[in-house]
Amino acid sequence: MSNKHLLTSLSSVLRRTLTPTSHFSFNSTRWFQSGTFFSPYVKTHHRLFPCSGLDFLEIHNIPGKCFTSSQSAEKASAKCWNCSAAAEAVPFLLCSSCRCIQPVDQSVDYFQIFGLERKYDSVVDNLEGQYKEWQKKLHPDLVHTKSKEEREYAAEQSARVIDAYLTLSKPLARAIYILKLEGVDVDEEETLSESELLTEILEIREAVEEAADAQALVQIQSQMQEKMKHWSNSFANAFRSRNFDEALKAIRRMTYYQRVKETIIKKL
């Protein structure tokens, strides 16, 4: 079963089960389609982090304490809903005894799902491989003959694994999510006030609008990718040192560079 099929077949599940509850999400498509992102009035007319949009950024609230991937406090009490076998590991998505898919446990974070430490730069190269392995075990098509209850669990677990994969595989989404786990919120009402960034945005606007051909756009896109990499590293350093103000600054930069990349893709 291809990765494309897995994502497509569960698109309706994602829309139904991943209800937006987070205080921050991004709709870069809306900004660019409206043509207002490159307005010289961006400072006074736009929120820094406009809400609604990309499903994979709609992060669930996580009740209570969120355990790191090395912790297993939930392990002792978790039992299979079908056979009552005790959980052997965290995350407990699938019972090893009866092979039944378990209900979603919101206290399990996205890093735990893939067996990663809760670190911004802990995402491994084979994340996609781990994602596919989970889908081989959790995809709803595998339990279409099972009870309605287990089919619902499969749909929810599979959708959450997709959400976890899409979030952790993208630097900006991963940065926002890991700050959320630390209790740090991004202010959606904040307006852009950094004069240096404002100037840079206007310069990028001119460069994109005046690009003579696709080659020029690709060159700008490459520059944005380098800037994304730089500020992603800056975020990682700030997060490690618990400097959340600098981490938020890095997110602001990454957000705008990502939007430029998306705009260029539409033009190519």
In a 3-state reduction of DSSP, which class is residue 62? coil
Q: pLDDT tens digits, residue range 18-75?
A: 443 334 343 433 333 334 333 333 333 333 443 333 343 343 333 333 434 444 444 5
Closest CA to 234 of 214, 252, 209: 252
Nearest C-alpha neighbor of 140 from the set 120, 124, 161: 161
Decide: residue 180, CB within 10 A, 0-12 exposed, 13-18 middle, 19+ buried. buried
**pLDDT for res 125:** 77
Statement to judge: residues 198 and 157 lie in one domain: no
Q: Could you tell me if residue 121 is inside a domain?
A: yes
CATH code for the domain in which residue 139 is found? 1.10.287.110
Reference 7, options 175, 230, 161, 180; nearest CA is 161
We report the CATH number of the domain holding residue 247 as 1.20.1280.20
The count of domains in the chain is 2
The answer as to whether 217 is a domain residue is yes
Place of tokens 């006074």: 44
> Is 24 inside any structural domain?
no
Is the pLDDT assigned to residue 249 strictly greater than 80? yes
Q: Same domain, yes or no, for 202 and 245?
A: yes
Give residue 126's Cα distance to chain centre.
17
Same domain, 198 and 254: yes
Banded pLDDT at 197 (limits 50, 70, 90) = confident
User: Are 206 and 258 within one domain?
Assistant: yes
Q: Which residue has the higher pLDDT, 159 or 29?
A: 159
Comparison of pLDDT for 39 and 137, the residue scoring more: 137
Q: Positive or negative CA dihedral for 40, 46, 49, 50?
A: negative
198 and 130 belong to one structural domain: no
134 within a domain of the structure (yes/no): yes
Find out whether 39 and 45 touch, Cβ atoms under 8 Å: yes
213 domain-assigned? yes
Domain, as residue range, for 128: 110-169
The answer as to whether 200 is a domain residue is yes
Mean pLDDT of the chain: 77
Residue 155 sits in the same domain as residue 193: no
In a domain, 254, yes or no: yes
Lowest mean per-residue pLDDT among 36-40, 106-110, 139-143, 163-167: 36-40
Whole-number Å distance between alpha carbons of 32 and 248: 22
First to last CA, the chain: 31
For residues 204 and 224, give the distance between their C-alpha atoms in angstroms, rounded to a whole number: 10
Angle ∠(25,234,66) on CA atoms, nearest 5: 55
Name the DSSP letter for residue 140.
Answer: G
Q: 257: number of CA atoms within 13 Å, CB side?
A: 22
CA 7 – CA 102 distance, rounded (Å): 21
Alpha helices in 10-144 (DSSP H): 11-17, 28-34, 42-45, 110-113, 127-138
Range with the poorest average pLDDT among 62-71, 219-228, 233-242, 246-255: 62-71
For residues 123 and 157, state if they share a domain: yes
Nearest to 257 by CA among 226, 236, 228, 214: 228
Q: Where are the alpha helices (DSSP H) in 18-126?
A: 28-34, 42-45, 110-113
Asked if 141 and 207 sit in the same domain, the reply is: no
Residues 163, 233 within the same domain: no
**10 within a domain of the structure (yes/no):** no
pLDDT at 133: 94
